[in-house]
Chain A
Amino acid sequence: MHEMGIVLHIAKTLNETAEEEKITKIGSVTLQVGEVSGIITDLFVDCWNYFKVRNEILKDSELKLETLPAVTFCGDCEKTYPTVKYGRECPYCGSYETWLLTGNECIIKEIEAETL
């Protein structure tokens, strides 16, 4: 499953960070999720909650999600527009030769942590 896979990858990165920074406990994790990243937020939160209680450092952490807007570029008229509102068709010239610029990312922005 896509969401559980992402949770496992985030946890791996956080556990490695914890080792490097001598972190004993993580209080919160802030993730930036692109509007069209394909991540189903509810499912993702469920996976996170299922996983975190089984992980010593993440046990009591709070998950904070921030949304990053999706922007599409039109190859014909070279304008950009919001992806979610207009989809594949350029609202300026009607072209379908359009490309996603941003919006499918998933970034671990920051954590709050207690260190040794």
Chain B
Amino acid sequence: MKVIELKKSVTDSNDRDAALLRRELDEKGMLLINLMSAAGSGKTTFLSRTITDLKDLRIAVIEADIESVVDAERIAKLGARSIQAHTDGMCHMDAGMTREAVESIGTDETDVLFLENIGNLICPAEYDTGAQRNVMILSVPEGDDKPLKYPLMFENSNVLIITKTDTMSYFDFDMDKCIERVRRLNPFIEIFPVSAKTGEGMDEWEKWLIREVQETKNRRKR
């Protein structure tokens, strides 16, 4: 027997699968967005609003969260394509499971594909799904100290959506303090406060999304 030093992260093989999937998606010019949050933060409601607002964008959704059957129906009712992913009782989506779901929904006729990840702020942050962009949702009732409790999720996200802003007056949520905490973890993150219920703030997020879709298409042309 000989000793082989590895010093590899547990997610090493997943990281490579994810990088390969990301490259393939870039070549196809399709944007895959990994949407993460705690359970019940408002992922499906936020997606529904985005789909309703952006009729010209071809949006499809992979549902992986616990209530995936119900959520897939909610999305289908709006006229967007959706499928349920096979999560095998796991607490996160990995790159292999994501690839399977992407291949079964197909990449043609789609501008942006959302992956509604499993509702939990710990495990999904550790596993790269292969998506080009990570978007996380924090809802006002969860509190402004979430960045202190789950730093990795905030570090690994490109965008933070702070949703349910219509409930601000009922909760002791300090928006400035929250944003300051997040920026300390991740100075480059884009932050959009929204209410998926009233629609307030959605336009800024939607502008960002349209720009990203366009940039993904441009990357392919080059």
Residues of chain A having any CB pair with chain B under 8 Å: 1-2, 4-6, 9-10, 12-13, 16-17, 21, 23, 27, 38, 75, 88, 96-100, 104-115
Residues of chain B having any CB pair with chain A under 8 Å: 1-14, 89-92, 94, 122-123, 145, 148-149, 151-152, 181, 184-185
Shortest distance from the beta carbon of B145 to any chain A beta carbon, whole Å: 7
**Most chain A beta-carbon contacts within 10 A, residue among B5, B13, B185:** B13
Contacts of B181 in A (CB 8 A): 97
Q: In the complex the two chains form, what is the Cα distance from A37 to B108 in whole Å?
A: 40
Contacts of B91 in A (CB 8 A): 1-2, 5
Contacts of B8 in A (CB 8 A): 13, 17, 107-108
Q: In the complex the two chains form, what is the Cα distance from A1 to B87 in whole Å?
A: 10
4 more A-B residue pairs beyond the given contacts A105-B9, A106-B9, A108-B7, with a C-beta to C-beta distance below 8 A: A10-B10, A99-B151, A100-B151, A112-B1
Known A-B contacts A1-B91, A5-B90, A98-B148; A106 and B3 likewise in contact (beta carbons under 8 Å): no
Which residue from chain A places its CB closest to the CB of B120 in the assembled complex? A2
Secondary structure of the B side of the interface?
mixed
6 contacts between A and B (CB under 8 A): A10-B10, A106-B10, A107-B9, A109-B6, A110-B6, A111-B3
Known A-B contacts A88-B148, A99-B148, A104-B152; A9 and B10 likewise in contact (beta carbons under 8 Å): yes
Q: Is B13 touching A12 in the complex (CB atoms < 8 A)?
A: yes
Known A-B contacts A96-B148, A104-B152; A110 and B122 likewise in contact (beta carbons under 8 Å): no
Q: Is A113 touching B6 in the complex (CB atoms < 8 A)?
A: no
Shortest distance from the beta carbon of A33 to any chain B beta carbon, whole Å: 9
Contacts of B90 in A (CB 8 A): 1, 4-5
Contacts of A23 in B (CB 8 A): 4
Contacts of A5 in B (CB 8 A): 90-92, 94, 123
Q: Is A114 touching B1 in the complex (CB atoms < 8 A)?
A: yes
Q: In the complex the two chains form, what is the Cα distance from A77 to B3 in whole Å?
A: 43
Q: In the complex the two chains form, what is the Cα distance from A111 to B91 in whole Å?
A: 27
Q: In the complex the two chains form, what is the Cα distance from A39 to B13 in whole Å?
A: 19
Q: Is A110 touching B4 in the complex (CB atoms < 8 A)?
A: yes
Known A-B contacts A5-B92, A5-B123, A99-B151; A75 and B184 likewise in contact (beta carbons under 8 Å): yes
Contact of A113 among B1, B12, B89 (CB under 8 A): B1
